[in-house]
Structure formats: structure tokens, C-alpha cells
């Protein structure tokens, strides 16, 4: 699966305040691991991209784990935020349940949004998302985890990626611990 991505620049324009950059986290109800297969994760990613495009949001980084997801994006209208996320949840729940031949309710538990305050916060969050498969002990090498924006970054912007990891040290970021306890 290939996706078009915004360039991950090392030195961003200083435009983040009031621009509607958000970090989103969503979790499966009771933290059940219902997205363990490649197919279920691909379903989630496919609809994430569709809804982002439909509502003219801009997606920067994302990761899908077995029972939760994170993504960083710029939203077009904050009033529509619950509509977009609820639509994403409803649609992905429908298709994933169909794929798994599962009838449960609710599927998703809830979501958390965090507004990005400045450039440093943006890059800490971006690297945090990319680092997530190691944080949750899925892999030792991020190149081995295909369900995030990391492989594309690595392929297209290896040097920026390395520099950002060194500068923003995602392995030491603890301020998302309360919403990323999986």
C-alpha cells in the first residue's frame, strides 16, 4: 500500500499556532486486540485516508497498532472534528467487524485529541507516533513495522528522519502516557 505524504521537513515553517494541528488517539473498547491482522490494519488506514481527503484535512504521521491508533494532522474546521472521527470509527468498525465476522458493540471506545502548541511539540509528537511500535514492544526495528508512516519517511527522507529522532528523542516522551497505555 502506498500513500502520498506531505514532506517531513526538518525545519518547519513557524505556522503551527492557531492552525489546527492535532494529535489523535483512538482505542478499541476494553483495549481488545481486534486489529491484529494486516487486513484489519489496512482497512483502518484506507478509511483514515479517505476521511482525511473528504474533509480536506492534512495527514502527517500515523500508526495503527493491534488495539489503538495515533495520527497527527491538520484539521480544516474544529467544529467538524467529532463528525470526522465518529464517521471514521463507525465505518472502520463496520468493515473490520465484517472482515472478522464479529458482532460486537461498541467496537471503538473513544478518542483523545491534543492540540499541537508549537513546532517542538509538533516534532515530538511526530517522532512519538513513528516510534510507537517500539514503545509498545511490537518490533525492535521500526523498518519491520509496515503499518505506519515510518516506512515511507525512511524511504524518502532518511536523513531528516534520523535528525528528528536524535533531536526530539521520542523514547523519552512521557506526556502521552495517560492516553497511550496499551
Per-residue contact track with Ni ion, 91 to 130, x per CB under 5 A?
----------------------------------------
**Runs of H (alpha helix) within the chain:** 38-54, 81-100, 119-135, 150-156, 158-168
* Closest separation in Å from C-beta 56 to Ni ion: 26
Do the Cβ atoms of 26 and 127 come closer than 8 Å?
Answer: no
Please give the residue whose beta carbon sits closest to Ni ion in the complex: 180
Instruction: Find out whether 71 and 24 touch, Cβ atoms under 8 Å.
Output: yes
Shortest approach of Ni ion to residue 63 CB, angstroms? 7
Closer Cβ to Ni ion, 66 or 180, answer by number: 180
Closer CB to Ni ion, 40 or 132, in the complex? 132
Per CB under 5 A, 132 contacts Ni ion = yes
The answer to whether the Cα torsion of 65, 174, 51, 145 is positive or negative is negative
Q: Closest CB to Ni ion among 18 and 177?
A: 177
| Closer residue to Ni ion (CB): 137 or 141 | 137
C-alpha cell of residue 56: 480536506
| Neighbouring residues of 96: CB distance < 8 A, sequence distance ≥ 6 | 34, 35, 40, 43, 44, 102, 107
Residue number with CB closer to Ni ion (27 or 79):
27
Output the nine-digit C-alpha cell for 161.
528522519
At residue 115, φ and ψ (nearest 5 deg) are: -75, 135
The distance of closest approach from Cβ of residue 62 to Ni ion in the complex, given in angstroms and rounded to an integer, is 11
**DSSP code, position 37:** S
Of the pair 33, 98, the CB lying nearest Ni ion is at: 33
Count residues near Ni ion (CB under 5 A): 2
Shortest distance, CB of residue 126 to Ni ion, whole angstroms?
A: 14
Least separation in angstroms between residue 123's CB and Ni ion is 17
The residues of the shown chain that bind Ni ion, judged by CB under 5 A, are: 132, 180
Amino acid at each position: 500500500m502506498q500513500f502520498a505524504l506531505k514532506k517531513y521537513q526538518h525545519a518547519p515553517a513557524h505556522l503551527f499556532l492557531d492552525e489546527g494541528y492535532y494529535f489523535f488517539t483512538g482505542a478499541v473498547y476494553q483495549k481488545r486486540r481486534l486489529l491484529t491482522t494486516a487486513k484489519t490494519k489496512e482497512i483502518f488506514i484506507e478509511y483514515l485516508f479517505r476521511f482525511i481527503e473528504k474533509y480536506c484535512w492534512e495527514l502527517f504521521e500515523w500508526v495503527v497498532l493491534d488495539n489503538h491508533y495515533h495520527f497527527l494532522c491538520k484539521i480544516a474546521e474544529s467544529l467538524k472534528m467529532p463528525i470526522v472521527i465518529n464517521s471514521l470509527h463507525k465505518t472502520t468498525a463496520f468493515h473490520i467487524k465484517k472482515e472478522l465476522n464479529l458482532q460486537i458493540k461498541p467496537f471503538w471506545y473513544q478518542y483523545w485529541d491534543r492540540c499541537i502548541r508549537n513546532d517542538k511539540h509538533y516534532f515530538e509528537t511526530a517522532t512519538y507516533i513513528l516510534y510507537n511500535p517500539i514503545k509498545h514492544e511490537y518490533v525492535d526495528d521500526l523498518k519491520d513495522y509496515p503499518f505506519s508512516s515510518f516506512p515511507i519517511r525512511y524511504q524518502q527522507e532518511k536523513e531528516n528522519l534520523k535528525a528528528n529522532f536524535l533531536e526530539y528523542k521520542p523514547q523519552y516522551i512521557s506526556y502521552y502516557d495517560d492516553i497511550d497505555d496499551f
